[in-house]
Structure 1
Amino acid sequence: MPNQFTPVICLFTAASLPSFAQSTNDNSEQERTEVIEVTAQKKVTTLQSTPIAISAFTGNMLQQRNIDDLSNLQSYVPALHVGQEQDGFKISIRGIGLQGTSSISDSGVAFYIDDNYIARPAGGSAILYDIARVEVLRGPQGTLYGRNATGGVVNVISNTPKDYFEAKAGVSVGERNLRELRGLVNLPVNEKSAVRFSSVYTEEDGYVRNLSDEPGTDDFFGTDGDVTIKGQYQYNADDDLQLMISANYSDLKGTGVNMTYLERNIGGPPPVRALLATMPEDPQDPLIADNNTEAYNHTETASTFVRLTKTFGELEGFLQASYMNQKSRLQQDFDASPVDISIFNKEQDSIAKSVEARLSSSSNDVLTWLLGGYYFVEDTFIFRRVRLNGLTPGGPISLPDFLLDEDGTSETTAAFTSATYTLTDTLNLSAGLRYTSDNKRGVKVTRGNFGLPFPPDIPNDIYSGDASFSETTWRLGAEWSPSSDILVYTSASTGYKAGGFNLTSNGLPYDAEQLMAYEFGVKSEWLDKRLRINLDSFYYDYEDMQLTTLTTVNNAPGQFTSNAARSTIQGFEIDSRYIVDANWKLFFNYTLTDAEFDELFSTDTRDPAPVFNELDPAGLGRTDLAGNKIPFVPQSSVQTGIEFGTEVSNGGYITAALNFLWQDDMYLREFNHPEIDKVEAYTRTDATVTYAFPGDALTLTAFITNIEDDTQKTNVYVSPGFLGFSATSAYSRPRTIGLKLDYQWE
């Protein structure tokens, strides 16, 4: 795909749209496209009047489509990918996201709950319960948001306390012994304040079966009982002061993610090699395991934030402070076999604190502006333990444990501003500026190394365990509204993600990411707002993309992050909806993306005996990967859907929805190995049918997701060298059938 295709698409888009200009005035309000309000620009605007690439879904839309966790959202949001590794999930947008999972790693996509940044998100269906909407912003963000984001933002926005009584209760049942209980209650305290509480409890056997009958093992990799509780208090004073206090607690108990081996490359010390050779063949079905070790993944998170908003005449002030404490405990059968070879343990404790302050002008002014400041600090301690067994002529032996302490701190201070000037009634110009200062500090201590000499600790004489970065990023944009139903927008912006150093391995530094992004789009509505056609084109010039792999350095396992010198990501998206009449709605989305590395030299740790010398990082015998595809980006994807709703004779209402996704081939690592990294093109079809009983208090929903019952690799993780560098993966959820029953009191 030539580099010049983006301007061509932009010109074609602008030239072709007027041919759709038709209007009818005899349509009822029920036949028009729903108006979705968003706060992506820190003010209330409609989805159609927001001049950025954004997808938004109301809570009702999520319920109708049975989108109950972030992984389900992938079928509806262009270029969004959600994978999972060990004790957290990884989000990427247009190929930009999280690579490393060390204590000082940053994500390229910022995840928020109620405008509160979550550095290490964890959780399932509870995240999307009792919410007002989900907003997914694509492209660099930072001149409006407290946390800098190179690839985009995912913001989950909860329902807030109301001044009336409301209560809901629901239950879900489904395949694999799915059982979920959920409920909420909203209570007005007095005429100025109210409280709201919600909770979700979920159990599921899981979809990866474990054949082992060893003591402590489970039959499935699933959820033993996840509990999430959320409480909110809101106070509205007479002087335009609003106070919000929110507290969240989740306790997620499960067996974790199974390591399905895609290959078996035997390595490590001779006794370990001998024991690995006794393993039977792996099950052919990737959803069947034979792990002889108890597996668990227990993550407990408590967070709270306090928010004050105050109107001062034509100005609005915003102040929010947050605190989060997360503890996780993980155990995996590292060899994923019925032979007792290796067990991995990880314990992680994180404390994150942030403060954000903003002052903004009235949205009715000719010149609107926003000025903000942000501070974030996270302290994370990670303990890793690997137990390793081997076989000698004299019998089985146990090697001394590998023990690694990692203690890291990430600190960010930022100031940001943006302004929009109304040049004419139809033309607005905007500009934004951000200064970000990041500091990364870390300590690594190896307390055991399978009986081998210890690698150097950090800090040491060469690496101080301290690195600082700073960057000024900016955004320029223009938006033109030739009519009330058409918005044309364009922007140029820069993005940045802090660099760091390889804390878990050899201490080598890696550079910050730099992104130059160009965007052009058109949002339009036709046929008296029954037809919506939104088009967006983008071009990214990406420098120093951070790529992380697991390897062995100085005879010890650890993560190693390096930079891809240059990359290019370009593409366009079509998002359209058509309301045929009061009963039928049609949806069609298409995304085309060309994302590849222009300059990248790297070594696949799966290759025989890769040698890493921290004093000579350029002498790795690396492979030229220029032209390879960037991970997690399919070249094309198509999403179509249909919704039908009608009232039945007894006064009830039936709604049915069918969604179809086709996604092109993509790769999960930069090496683009055809057998290991490639995810073949696939389809996924979801369907729901909801019956609202007369009065709308009681609803019953039948759902089926992934009708094809097809599963795909979601992430590739290379096992460390003490077992042999072998690729493993996790797999997406197969077909699920279930029922949901909900009752609402008002």
Structure 2
Amino acid sequence: MNRSFNKTARRTVLSSALLSTALSGVTFAQVNDGDQIEIEEITVTVERRSQSLQNLAGTAALFQGEDLKQLGVQNLTDLNGRFPGLQIANNQGNVEVWIRGIGSSNNTELGDPAAATHLDGVYVPRPRGIGSVFFDIERVEVNIGPQGTLRGRNATAGSVNIISIKPGLGVWDAMAEVEFGNFDQTTIHAMLNVPIGDKMALRVSGFSLDHDSYLNNVGPVDDIDVAEAENNLGFRAHFLYEPNDKLRILLTGDYVQEKGTGFTGVNFANPLGNGIAPSEIKNPRDVIAAGITPILDTEHWGAKIEINYDVGPFNIEYLGSYRDLIYDFEATTPLSPNFPGVLETLGPLDEAFDNFSRFQSITDSESIIHELRLVSKDDQRLIWSAGVFYFDEQQFSFLGSTGDRGLFFSGLEFNQPDTDGESLSFFGDATFEITPKMRLTGGLRYTDDKKTRFGVNSRSVFAIGGENFSCCGGVRIGTPGFDFAGKDRTIFNPDTGGDGFVDDQEILDFFFDGVAEFGARDNVDDIFANGPVFGGAPFDQRPDCLDTVSGDFFNCPADGKVSFAVPIPGQIAIQNGRIDNSFVDWRARLEYDVTDDHLVYFSVSTGHKSGGFNDNVPGTEGLGPLNPGGANNNQFNADTLAPEFGEEKVTLFEFGSKNEFDVGATGVRLNASLFYNDYSDLVLNSLLSIAQVLEFEGVDPDTVDTETGGLVVSFNFNASDAEIYGAQLDGGFRFPYNINFDWSFLWLEANVQNSQPIQDFRFQADVAPDEAVNQSIDGRRLPRTPRYQLNGSLSHMFEVGPGTFDWIMSAGWRTKQFLTIFNSIDFQNPSDPRLRLDDTVGSFLTLDFGSGYTLSEGRVRIEAFVNNITNQEREQALLITQFDNTRFFTRPRTYGVRLRLKS
């Protein structure tokens, strides 16, 4: 190998090919011409400026857009497990990114991700729908470790930047592509690049994707579609204007629409509770469906302006953007995965399949970003940047559920019409060349984060029945045709009379205000059409149920009288809260070129994730106890408690070395790093009852009535510290004849330290008070942290006939991991743990293959791919509560072919 070729080009290509690991494909261009090897230079913008990835004194991953496509990658979540330490999960439509065990599952309006997602440099606070922007993509960069000074807001784990292809000046270009695959998948992708004179250019692209569900409804009600069918559409347009060599203006607009049946997961509580282990279930995607067909409707669009101006000694860069997300998902979760005898475990089948308990989740987010940076030229001894970042987000959020066919539970509603977030940062970063071989970097960033919220949550409880509930109980709510009012609710404070009490009519008014349309078989609207109905009157004077109750499921008592029909006051809490965090992040790094091809470095960097507040819970008075004698007249306490949680902090220490050398005619790359993360004030997200929350806050839960105390809410708290450490190795071999092998290995330890005892939130206090108690999690392993992770890829390119054939085989291996902080431990039965508490994902190996044939000087290309060859069905997200063990799986085996035509 000729050692004289450009060092920067070689470092860039070799590192990027490896760091793509499992799907690196052809991230390089290598052509043999005697002893000379020409390598196309590939650069990244990990540190907000273009540089070789091999020259970066830190750890990052690069995924080239064409390589992603070649292996059948459809969206952001398909990157899950394709680089050691990186995990990306779809949790009911939420895109959750975890890097080396640091991430967040707090997907409410109160939460923020711990790994920041960016689209063309724009911070995306709610990455729902962002997974489908994977068309006309140049590359995806993943920055490993806290990015507090460089990428700013909520980047304690790192950041992901999806970078699209920009317009080319003076270039006419067009492309059309069609793909067909299993699950009746059809994908269409088109692009057009149009020059406008010699100073302007327009690039427009679009795609559509359709496929059937990855779940199979094998239950007796076969006219219900199930989750994981997709019908997606996307468009993007870039307009570039470069009037001279000093000014560059880029305007961008993008739009993504995701429809289909969304993501419900599969609840394994039924088989696990009946002693059926997951390994005994032949296909976890075969499910017993009931209720309604899930309906997903997501629209995510944005507009951006980017201005770069060269003023001589430095450049001025401005980025302004607006993003708008509307996510609306309504669904019922399948009753169970399929297993022998499953129908016998569901109880009376006419009741199990005539139950329309459902939920609806809505997120409406509008965000604005302004960022102004002053950036030095790269050819100076001191390279620096400084700037200001401003972020503003306004949200509406809604979560509603109905409990059809229930006696004492009719539904929950979390309705938050006004949640505002604001962040302001000032930052600076500089690298000074001490000697031609030694450089020192320092950075500082000050951030002030604010968040406020107004809204309400409630639990609706109704009961009807014969005398002493001896027969006939049953409330119907949520049957076909039912529709929540959602954003159109007008009553948020149930005390409409303003007297400090909530009577029965006000409870009814509040409930009815939250319903836009009752279902065809609902009976609550008929029962309470004329106001509250009570059972306190003498039995022979009570209303005739034939005149009061209509609809099925409720059968009148033999004497035709209603013994008990009353709205029971559950918890209604005003949702007011405010948080104001400020913190400083910094980084320091020393790097040294031992030779032109051998770099060593040591760095320390910090990152913060903002704190916040929880859902409000009643104060010690709460809603007063039920008055069984008639009118309830419950005292309403609007001054509720909003428990807060503090910010998280991560400090990363890293020592690394990057090296390139030749062994004969083979080019070799070998990089290594040792790292230690000091993780402080780790925030856990849990589902707790009001009673558990009050106990956690030091309030006697007995001061709140039973119905109020049983309400389950999402609760966040600073639970512990943690330490995360290990070693990462990566290497690559560039053999003659365009044969290439890349690999990457991670050893990772991630354990909880200094934990306060936390309540076992897998249990509900009002259902299992002996198990919903404080337990120690000291020494537990952080979720999503396999101890060993290995990725590798083998690729080859060669000429065949009039064209060029290339192929890539990639593999990824993980040891076992846990998906909750309790690590599958059953505290009451440690030697024989109940299957319902199992959160273990066993070790597994994935294989992917892609190939392509290119001819007519690149104008025609045919590709074929198989993704997840071994059809591994592995959990990527998991929710365990008192009644749930809901699992979200990676995509099953998919395969397809595509044809691409270019001008």
Tell me the TM-score normalised to structure 1 length. Answer: 0.88
Residues 287 and 334, structure 2, Cα contact 8 Å, conserved in 1: no
2:593 is aligned to 481
CA-to-aligned-CA distance 1:98-149 (integer Å, 9 cap, x gap): 2201112111101111001111113477422212211100001032224341
How far off its partner does 1:529 sit?
A: 8.1
How far off its partner does 1:535 sit?
A: 1.4
2:471 is aligned to none
Q: Which moved more, 1:136-145 or 1:70-79?
A: 70-79
How far off its partner does 1:156 sit?
A: 0.9
Residues 446 and 454, structure 1, Cα contact 8 Å, conserved in 2: no
1:667 is aligned to 818
Distance 2:144 2:439 in 1: 21
Q: Which moved more, 1:321-330 or 1:233-242?
A: 233-242
- Match status 1:605 vs 2:756: no
- Match status 1:534 vs 2:674: no
How far off its partner does 1:728 sit?
A: 0.9
1:631 is aligned to 783
1:580-619 maps to which residues of 2 (within 5 A)? Answer: 580-600=735-755, 601-607=757-763, 609=765
2:646 is aligned to 511
1:106-505 maps to which residues of 2 (within 5 A)? Answer: 106-123=112-129, 126-163=132-169, 164-212=171-219, 214=221, 217-218=224-225, 220-238=226-244, 240-264=246-270, 285-292=283-290, 293-334=292-333, 336=335, 339=353, 340=355, 342-390=357-405, 399-406=409-416, 407-451=418-462, 452-455=568-571, 457-459=573-575, 465-503=577-615
CA-to-aligned-CA distance 1:396-419 (integer Å, 9 cap, x gap): x69543222123222111111111
Residues 579 and 612, structure 2, Cα contact 8 Å, conserved in 1: yes
Letter in 1 for 2:773: G
Letter in 2 for 1:98: S
Residues 476 and 493, structure 1, Cα contact 8 Å, conserved in 2: yes
Distance change (3 Å), C-alpha of 1:739 and 1:611: same
Distance 2:106 2:255 in 1: 26
1:699 is aligned to 861
2:659 is aligned to 524
Distance change (3 Å), C-alpha of 1:374 and 1:465: same
Distance change (3 Å), C-alpha of 1:26 and 1:665: same
Letter in 1 for 2:860: L
2:519 is aligned to none
1:10 is aligned to none
1:681 is aligned to 843
Among 735, 739, 743, the alignment partner of 2:897 is 739
How far off its partner does 1:32 sit?
A: 6.6
1:9 is aligned to none
Distance change (3 Å), C-alpha of 1:28 and 1:253: farther
Distance 1:570 1:93 in 2: 12
Distance 2:284 2:643 in 1: 36
Letter in 2 for 1:507: A
How far off its partner does 1:610 sit?
A: 6.5
CA-to-aligned-CA distance 1:483-505 (integer Å, 9 cap, x gap): 12122111011111111111276
- Match status 1:61 vs 2:173: no
How far off its partner does 1:185 sit?
A: 0.5
Tell me the TM-score normalised to structure 2 length. Answer: 0.73
Residues 99 and 546, structure 1, Cα contact 8 Å, conserved in 2: no
1:617-656 maps to which residues of 2 (within 5 A)? Answer: 621-648=773-800, 650-656=801-807
Distance 1:249 1:162 in 2: 21
CA-to-aligned-CA distance 1:492-532 (integer Å, 9 cap, x gap): 11111111111276621111101121011111111188211
How far off its partner does 1:86 sit?
A: 1.7
CA-to-aligned-CA distance 1:672-695 (integer Å, 9 cap, x gap): 116521100000000111111232
Distance 1:604 1:398 in 2: 25
Distance change (3 Å), C-alpha of 1:202 and 1:29: farther
Q: Which moved more, 1:285-294 or 1:601-610?
A: 601-610
How far off its partner does 1:224 sit?
A: 4.2
Residues 181 and 200, structure 1, Cα contact 8 Å, conserved in 2: yes
Query: Which protein has the bigger helix share?
Result: 2
Letter in 1 for 2:890: S
Residues 102 and 503, structure 1, Cα contact 8 Å, conserved in 2: no
Aligned with 1:389: secondary structure? Answer: coil
1:73 is aligned to 79
Q: Which moved more, 1:226-235 or 1:35-44?
A: 35-44
Distance 1:549 1:296 in 2: 26
Residues 579 and 586, structure 1, Cα contact 8 Å, conserved in 2: yes
Q: Which moved more, 1:207-216 or 1:41-50?
A: 207-216
2:538 is aligned to none
Q: Which moved more, 1:694-703 or 1:442-451?
A: 442-451
Distance 2:861 2:311 in 1: 44
Letter in 2 for 1:401: G
1:48 is aligned to 54
How far off its partner does 1:258 sit?
A: 2.9
2:874 is aligned to 712
The CA RMSD measured in Å over matched residues stands at 2.6
How far off its partner does 1:743 sit?
A: 1.0
Distance 2:669 2:373 in 1: 34
How far off its partner does 1:587 sit?
A: 1.1
How far off its partner does 1:304 sit?
A: 0.8
User: How many residue pairs end up in the alignment?
Assistant: 688
Letter in 1 for 2:106: G
Distance change (3 Å), C-alpha of 1:238 and 1:583: closer
Distance 1:266 1:186 in 2: 55
CA-to-aligned-CA distance 1:315-367 (integer Å, 9 cap, x gap): 01111111111111111214635531521111221111111110011111111
> Could you say which structure has the larger radius of gyration?
2
Distance 2:788 2:603 in 1: 24
Aligned with 1:379: secondary structure? Answer: strand
Distance 2:652 2:767 in 1: 36
Letter in 1 for 2:250: M
Structure 2 spans left out of the alignment, 5+ residues: 1-30, 275-279, 337-351, 463-567, 618-640, 691-708, 826-834
Distance 2:615 2:588 in 1: 37
Letter in 2 for 1:664: T
How far off its partner does 1:390 sit?
A: 3.1
How far off its partner does 1:225 sit?
A: 1.6
Distance 1:361 1:212 in 2: 64
